[in-house]
């Protein structure tokens, strides 16, 4: 993937979201708001795994800031 994708971050709540992001070499944030629990999502090694955006907004923002070019 070229530089045109350097600012993309996949955000999802399923194992397939993690697998798809990794397939394309994209960073992935997993949010346990769906049927998968945080522990289940974490087993697939997303770049960041959080319970929800409301309680972990700062952690999410810090992750995005660390990726900024």
DSSP string, 27-66: -EEEE--SSS-HHHHHTT--SEEES-TTTTHHHHHHHHHH
Given strand 48-50, what is the order of strands in its sheet? Answer: 10-12, 28-31, 48-50
- Rg value, the chain, Cα: 12
**Confidence grade of residue 68 (pLDDT, cut at 50, 70, 90):** confident
Q: Is the pLDDT confidence value at 6 over 90?
A: no
Q: How many CB atoms lie within 10 A of CB 62?
A: 12
Q: What is the pTM of this model?
A: 0.85
pLDDT given at position 4: 63
């Amino acid at each position: 993937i070229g530089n045109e994708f350097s600012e993309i971050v996949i955000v999802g709540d399923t194992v397939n979201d993690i697998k798809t992001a990794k397939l394309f070499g994209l960073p992935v944030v997993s949010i346990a708001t769906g049927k998968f629990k945080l522990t289940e999502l974490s087993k697939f090694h997303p770049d960041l795994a959080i319970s929800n955006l409301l309680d972990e907004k700062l952690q999410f923002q810090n992750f995005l800031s660390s990726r900024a070019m």
